[in-house]
Amino acid sequence: MTRLRTSLQIIQQSLLVIGKHKKLLLFPLLHIAGGIVVVAFFLIPVIAGMPEFTMPTVLDRLKYYGENGYPTALFVAFYLVTMFVMTFMNVAFYSEILRAFNGGRVSLTRGIACAVSKLQAIVVWSLLSGIVGGLIRQLEESIGGVGRWILAFIGISWSVASVFAVPVIIREEKQSNPAVFLKLSGSLVKKTWGESVLGIVGISALSLVAIVGTSLIGTVLTIFTGIRFFEEYFGPYMVMGFTATALLCFAIAYLSALLNDVYLCGLYIYAAEGVVPEEFDEDLFARAWNVKAKDQGSSAKPRE
């Protein structure tokens, strides 16, 4: 419980970081834009050769692929492109979070420029993570029983070990070996295992509770007030009420994802450099993260 309370305190301080550097709120939009690009790439072969582009014909084509299987080559390409785009956006985003911890001003264009400068590292890491993830998924589908549980454990272990891979890619100036990225990330996870898990689970749990609570309250209020006060305009009011509830839930999920990224970057700085970002409380960090005494630093700024 002490560790959980400490992690929740760090989450609160992460909110202060976002408040101080409000431009960080723009970066998750990169992920949304990247997702749109990937979906567009996925839809190209679906609509290719169609005599007319209408919603029913698109749905019919998607139904056909759902029943007969999507072409393997295109599926692999879609998967790898997704990995690359998401990694690229994360490098751009995390580089500016790290800069914010150093006291610098956040810039969307500078984050993208950083990702462009790391293209080789992003490509090789995307290939490795895409291949590993794809193999695990394929094996899970073909193996049953205990084997599937073992593969699931391997998948979780991979996800945990690679949690700091993106900050490592940013910090390692002359390195492009994905095995090195994984090794360095795994070594940092060992230092911060308990708090990494508690922080991520804590953010996710709080976000889930907030979303579920907002959905229930929004639904009840919408239905009750619609019946009680808007009988004549019940239909339009219901649409407005449910739309507002959905947007609020989206905003909570959006902030939760951003908070998780800030948390991990702060955790990375202290674990990798032994430096306490100035936005955080030094005593709180000392209690939270198990960095060896010889590696611990002061509340000085992290390195550029």
- 44-83: per-residue pLDDT in tens? 655 555 555 555 565 666 566 555 555 566 667 777 888 8
Residue 278 CB partners (closer than 8 Å, separation 6+):
101, 103, 299, 301
Average pLDDT value over all residues in the chain: 76
Q: 18 or 205, which is more confident? A: 18
What percent of the chain clears pLDDT 90, i.e. is strictly above it?
Answer: 9
Assess whether pLDDT exceeds 50 at residue 293. no
Q: 219 or 194, which is more confident? A: 219
User: Could you report the per-residue pLDDT of 137-180, keeping only the tens digit for each?
Assistant: 777 666 766 677 777 777 777 777 888 889 999 988 777 788 88
Assess whether pLDDT exceeds 90 at residue 136. no
Assess whether pLDDT exceeds 90 at residue 122. yes
Assess whether pLDDT exceeds 50 at residue 290. no
What residue type is 234 in one-letter code?
F
Q: Is 299 helix (H, G, I), strand (E, B) or coil?
A: coil
What's the pLDDT at 294? 38
3-state secondary structure 208-222: HHHHHHHHHHHHHHH
Q: 141 or 225, which is more confident? A: 225
Assess whether pLDDT exceeds 50 at residue 93. yes
Asked if 95 and 87 count as a contact pair (C-beta separation under 8 A), the reply is no
Average pLDDT over residues 19-27: 85
What's the pLDDT at 46? 58
Cα-based distances in Å from 259 to 67, 204, 221, 244: 39, 10, 29, 22
What's the pLDDT at 289? 47
What's the pLDDT at 19? 83
What's the pLDDT at 297? 43
Average pLDDT over residues 92-111: 86
On whether the pTM is more than 0.85, the answer is: no
What's the pLDDT at 44? 65
Asked if 184 and 164 count as a contact pair (C-beta separation under 8 A), the reply is yes
What's the pLDDT at 169? 92
Asked if 259 and 93 count as a contact pair (C-beta separation under 8 A), the reply is no
What percent of the chain clears pLDDT 70, i.e. is strictly above it?
Answer: 68
What residue type is 229 in one-letter code?
F
Assess whether pLDDT exceeds 80 at residue 86. yes
What's the pLDDT at 248? 92
**H-only helix segments in the chain:** 2-20, 28-47, 55-68, 72-101, 108-117, 119-142, 146-161, 165-171, 178-191, 193-229, 234-273, 282-288
Residue 237, sorted as left (phi over 0), alpha (psi -120 to 50) or beta, turns out to be alpha
Q: 40 or 193, which is more confident? A: 40
Average pLDDT over residues 190-200: 65
Confidence band, pLDDT 50/70/90 cuts, at residue 197? low
What's the pLDDT at 284? 59
What's the pLDDT at 300? 45
